[in-house]
Structure 1
Amino acid sequence: MGVPNASRRSVLLGLVLTGTVGGLIRPAEASAAAPPVKSPPIIGCGAWRARPPSTPVPVWDRRPVRIIVHHTATANVTDLSRGAAEFVARKIQEFHMDRRRWIDTGQNFTISRGGYVLEGRHRSLEVLRTGSRHVEGAHCTGQNVEAVGIENEGTYSSNAPPDQLWDRLRDMCAYICHQYGIPPTEIGGHRDFKDTLCPGDRFYGMLPQLRTEVADLLGEPLSDRAARRASWPLLRTDSSGPEVQAAQHLLRAAGLTVQPHGRFDERTTAAVRDYQRIHRTEEINGLIGGETWPLLVTARGTDRQEVALAVRALTPAGAVRASAIPGEEEWKRMLNAGRRS
């Protein structure tokens, strides 16, 4: 979701629950290129007794270009009924409107652990069916006009989502991609854009599978490489490896005091927090994710020698020179190539 991790924990406490594009569909030819894709059953705001928004929701006269997958970071409940799904939707809306002071639920759609799909923000279902406009959400700062946000009930750091949820998410993503001409490669996770654990390590690791299954439903098979597109690695306490060493050199290039030994220790966490404060990122949490990485790799006026050392940490053979790096995508490729499982 597009709220800080601390706020996610507040949602959990409040609920108190127990128990990129080549060869793919382009918008202008989506209907002709893809087989018919039906909408899964979707419970509208009126059906789950949503409160009206405090002000009219913004509707943009253009298509979104991606889908962002979230998890609610709430309990992995065993009640899979429609009643439980509607209860979760109401509690999320209550939190977003009363605590966050948003005009309505932040995400466009919610999928329960029982596989029920619910409209989140008002008018999201109506507008999706037109295939040409988009309801602005509040699920990921900087992406709310660009992306459809889907919230998935539960916490998926170590557990996989249940089959019912997964199947509905796949069907919902296929329908959204079909309606808007979004390539399946543009299905991402919250952490791709923010410094957050969302949608959980296990769920995030399943996104290549999701892209593949959605592409199959659309009749546009993906290669394994396309399904596993390059992304910003999420670094946190106890992470280690060449990508950590590269991040430490980039922090040093920005004037922070940290040793480039490749271990994400307490000093590194403190340096990242300092960097986030300086740049006023949405989260001051010491994680390096989809918001802090782009700042680090595109900073100007930094120590170029440290930047060169960051490159060398990721490309020991010196295949890429710091002065030759064109931008974020090259950094992503180097960071992905440098990962060690």
Structure 2
Amino acid sequence: MATVPFTRRGVVVGALAGLGWLLTGRGRLPAAAATPAPRVSSRPLTGRWRPDGEGWLRREPVYSARPVDVAGVQWEAPADVRIELRALGPRGWSPWVAAGLAGHGPDAAPATRAGEPVWCAGARAVQVRASRALRGARAQLVAGDPVASARDWARERLAGVAALALLTPRLDAGPGQPAIIARRVWAGAAERPHGPIGYGRIALAFVHHTENANGYGRHEVPALLRAIAHYHRDVLGWKDIGYNFLVDRYGRVWEGRAGGAHDAVVGAQAGAYNTASTGVAVLGSFQSELPPTGALRALAHLLAWKLALHGQPTGGRVRVRVDPDGAQYTPFRGGAHVFLPRIAGHRDGDSTDCPGDRLYHRLPALRRSARRLTGSRVSLLALAAPASPGPYLQAPCGGRLIQRDGSPISGATVLVQVRGPRSVAAGHASTAPDGSWTTQLSLPHSAEVRALFAGDGVHAAAVSEGAVVAVSAAITLSASPQPASLVVAVAGAVEPAKPAVVLDVYASEPGGSRLLASDRFAAAGGRYSGSITVPAPGSYRLIARTRADDLNAAGSSTPVDITVAQSGSPAGPPPSG
């Protein structure tokens, strides 16, 4: 094996080779076991609740054999209680950090008494204190991943050689798309959502803080995001990390919840408003400390861009409905309509002190900054889907593209995409002089779609609200009355393939048609065949149909009219009229 000389150049070459070995995953650190232990452990709080002389009750510390990156508290009762947590690291105990309920959570799920995750940075122990004694209290500990954390460190060391991967494509609206570090940088392929991705609409944005210590290093951020995601998924039972975006103290923006940063992904960040909002968390605790200037600048740019992309202003207030399934997080009645700022602090909508006093009091200035950044670079893109199901591979839809002042944008290309992390194209159109557009979608199944205008250098990019396009199966039918018989041979095809087709037989009468029978025919490979026997000679109408299922709306063939002649007589055409 060739050796690298011990020179300055040799050391650099060797270091880069070693970091590449680590980043590609071909190397393994000695501390990493072949089969990693579970990341989350649940430990009961032991001992008695004892006064600490500062107005709190505390329990004995909980020690861990593995370094703890994030910790939180779960308890049974009481509901109205303040909780704080601290961690023991190489330099001793950290300051106490709030770890109680903060109003985060998914809608349509019961509120669990589980506190916020607290960043512990590889601590050996944690300790909990509360304003009242907790019943059934447990510490939830999320262990670090030494291999992944070392790769994070390596990426930071190589930042001057290869920058962290940024989100693509660029969709410039308002001040332009900020540099957003792609989810795969911190999550990788292993951190997948535990459930389907949900999509809503963007009417407003909520600002949060994450209630962790503010002294984390640049290279610790990916591990911090992974640990928060594990806590949200594996302790709280959510699908994924709750926030759509996160901003660190260095002014870097990170993609959070999976599903597409350009779309209205439903998070678990503002109970009762998740389906109508996007959520951005600033990493840190800002109840008594000022948020860093770089983080505030990045936050203003991100919010100005995200709201403009969805055609929303950054100022003023918006009327939103309090989702009854998430009303337990709010001071409002479920189903009520309330007016909230377009850029809202979490406490504006839910019962919480998030995003901390010092960050919350900066929101008026943040809104002014976002409004200046946005300017007039806002486009509005509407999408309308027909109320009735569209045909297989030819479902119609349309809409209109205008500027914020109402003037049309003509000659622009609008893409229609199936909503999802990869946004699969389903159709495209060019806008007419009045900004309107229509197209037929190449959809084999029903799907939730969105329209996208990527911008043209003059007009800002825009994303529409979503719409569900129902698509029915395409069914063909042929029928052949058999000579000197009451038997009719039938055959046809169905796309996409279905397990069965129902054939309805109607008697043609002067006043219309009367249903006589419905027969089921098995279909294989998208084709079906068989025969029916009619009760007597006469005129009949046959229609083949499929029932609605999870993929397609109910579909039916073009009616086929037949005449079954008297026994021994040739069949003739169906009677007219």
Q: Specify the TM-score bucket, using the shorter chain as the normaliser.
A: 0.5 to 0.7
Which residue of structure 2 lines up, in the alignment, with residue 208 of structure 1? Answer: 364
**1:89·1:118 contact (CA, 8 Å) conserved in 2?**
no
**1:157·1:200 contact (CA, 8 Å) conserved in 2?**
yes
**The one of 108, 124, 136 aligned to 2:244:** 108
Quick one: structure 1 residues 65 and 5, their matched pair in 2 at CA, closer, same or farther if it must change by over 3 Å?
Answer: same
Quick one: structure 1 residues 178 and 147, their matched pair in 2 at CA, closer, same or farther if it must change by over 3 Å?
Answer: same
Distance 1:202 1:5 in 2: 28
**The one of 336, 341, 352 aligned to 1:196:** 352
Any gaps of 5 or more consecutive residues in structure 2?
A: 1-101, 106-110, 124-170, 316-341, 377-577
**1:157·1:202 contact (CA, 8 Å) conserved in 2?**
yes
The higher radius of gyration belongs to: 2
Does residue 289 of structure 2 align to residue 159 of structure 1?
yes
Which residue of structure 2 lines up, in the alignment, with residue 181 of structure 1? Answer: 311
Distance 2:259 2:242 in 1: 12
1:243-282 map, 5 Å? none
Which residue of structure 2 lines up, in the alignment, with residue 56 of structure 1? Answer: 196
Does residue 213 of structure 2 align to residue 69 of structure 1?
no
1:33-44 map, 5 Å? 36-44=174-182
Task: Map Cα deviations across residues 269-299 of structure 1 (whole Å, 9 max, x no partner).
Answer: xxxxxxxxxxxxxxxxxxxxxxxxxxxxxxx
Return the offset for 1:56: 2.0
1:56-135 map, 5 Å? 56-60=196-200, 63-79=201-217, 81=218, 83-125=219-261, 128=262, 133-135=263-265
Return the offset for 1:15: 5.3
Give the AA of the match of 1:108.
N
**The one of 184, 189, 196 aligned to 1:46:** 184
Distance 1:199 1:16 in 2: 25
Quick one: structure 1 residues 210 and 157, their matched pair in 2 at CA, closer, same or farther if it must change by over 3 Å?
Answer: same
Give the AA of the match of 1:37.
P
Task: Map Cα deviations across residues 295-323 of structure 1 (whole Å, 9 max, x no partner).
Answer: xxxxxxxxxxxxxxxxxxxxxxxxxxxxx
Identity %: 30
Quick one: structure 1 residues 64 and 198, their matched pair in 2 at CA, closer, same or farther if it must change by over 3 Å?
Answer: same
Compute the RMSD of aligned alpha carbons.
Answer: 2.6
Distance 1:189 1:117 in 2: 18
Distance 2:180 2:368 in 1: 23
Return the offset for 1:38: 1.4
Quick one: structure 1 residues 8 and 75, their matched pair in 2 at CA, closer, same or farther if it must change by over 3 Å?
Answer: farther
Which residue of structure 2 lines up, in the alignment, with residue 12 of structure 1? Answer: 118
Quick one: structure 1 residues 54 and 210, their matched pair in 2 at CA, closer, same or farther if it must change by over 3 Å?
Answer: same
Distance 2:173 2:180 in 1: 21
Any gaps of 5 or more consecutive residues in structure 1?
A: 18-30, 221-341
Task: Map Cα deviations across residues 161-208 of structure 1 (whole Å, 9 max, x no partner).
Answer: 112211110110111121012221200011011110100011111100
Return the offset for 1:16: 5.7
Distance 2:345 2:249 in 1: 18
**2:314·2:370 contact (CA, 8 Å) conserved in 1?**
yes
Classify the secondary structure of the residue corresponding to 2:183.
coil
Quick one: structure 1 residues 203 and 6, their matched pair in 2 at CA, closer, same or farther if it must change by over 3 Å?
Answer: farther
Return the offset for 1:124: 3.4
Quick one: structure 1 residues 149 and 113, their matched pair in 2 at CA, closer, same or farther if it must change by over 3 Å?
Answer: same
Quick one: structure 1 residues 70 and 160, their matched pair in 2 at CA, closer, same or farther if it must change by over 3 Å?
Answer: same
Distance 1:8 1:16 in 2: 19
**2:286·2:355 contact (CA, 8 Å) conserved in 1?**
yes
Distance 2:182 2:211 in 1: 23
4+ aligned runs moved over 2 Å, structure 1: 3-9, 13-17, 34-37
Give the AA of the match of 2:209.
H
**1:65·1:182 contact (CA, 8 Å) conserved in 2?**
yes
How many residues in Structure 1 have an aligned counterpart in Structure 2? 195
Classify the secondary structure of the residue corresponding to 1:38.
coil
Classify the secondary structure of the residue corresponding to 1:165.
helix
Distance 2:209 2:196 in 1: 26
Which residue of structure 2 lines up, in the alignment, with residue 140 of structure 1? Answer: 270
Distance 2:351 2:302 in 1: 26
Which residue of structure 1 lines up, in the alignment, with residue 487 of structure 2? Answer: none
**2:174·2:305 contact (CA, 8 Å) conserved in 1?**
no
Return the offset for 1:43: 1.4
**2:204·2:277 contact (CA, 8 Å) conserved in 1?**
yes
Give the AA of the match of 2:295.
L
**1:71·1:200 contact (CA, 8 Å) conserved in 2?**
yes
More strand per residue: 1 or 2? 2
Classify the secondary structure of the residue corresponding to 2:281.
strand
Return the offset for 1:59: 2.1
Return the offset for 1:6: 7.2
1:221-300 map, 5 Å? none
More helix per residue: 1 or 2? 1
Task: Map Cα deviations across residues 231-268 of structure 1 (whole Å, 9 max, x no partner).
Answer: xxxxxxxxxxxxxxxxxxxxxxxxxxxxxxxxxxxxxx
TM norm structure 2: 0.32
